[in-house]
Amino acid sequence: MSHRFVWVDIPVHDLDRAIAFYAAVLGTAVTREGGPGFSFGLLAHTGSDVAGCLYVADDDNAPSPHGPLVYLNVDGRIADAERAVAARGGQVLKATHAIGPHGYRAIVVDSEGNRVALHSGTR
């Protein structure tokens, strides 16, 4: 496998609110999945794409504006994604800005209190 990251679990307090937030920001479906006694929001992916899920946090992990910074791909629609952050209960900490030859990013806090980065190769 060529990806350094293969999966990410994003802790949330309110799964339905977080699913709506990430679906709006990413511009794609986030589906509710699960089994007996558990559920999570699956971030859309295909094949060997790196993906992840939203899960209701327990005592071992909680939403946080500190710690690792996860970059989410919003390629070609970073302005729309940044607007969706505010519209869905998040906060823009650092508006879209260039990151050298690596494109653009915005640093935001999601609807649950997690700090994440939005990334696009183009503005």
Please answer whether residues 57 and 11 qualify as being in contact, where contact means their C-beta atoms are separated by less than 8 angstroms: yes
Question: For 86-93, what is the mean pLDDT?
Answer: 97
pLDDT at 6 over 80: no
Mean pLDDT of 52-56: 93
Q: Output the pLDDT for position 114.
A: 96
Mean pLDDT across the chain: 92
Provide CATH code, domain 7-120: 3.10.180.10
Of 29-33, 39-43, 67-71, 113-117, minimum mean pLDDT range: 67-71
Per-residue pLDDT at 1 exceeds 50: no
pTM above 0.85, yes or no: yes
Examine the pLDDT at 2 and tell me if it is beyond 70.
no
d(Cα 21, Cα 99) in Å, to the nearest integer? 25
pLDDT category, 58, cuts 50, 70, 90?
A: confident
- Sorting pLDDT into bands at 50, 70 and 90, what band is 3? confident
If DSSP codes are grouped into helix, strand and coil, which group holds residue 52?
A: strand
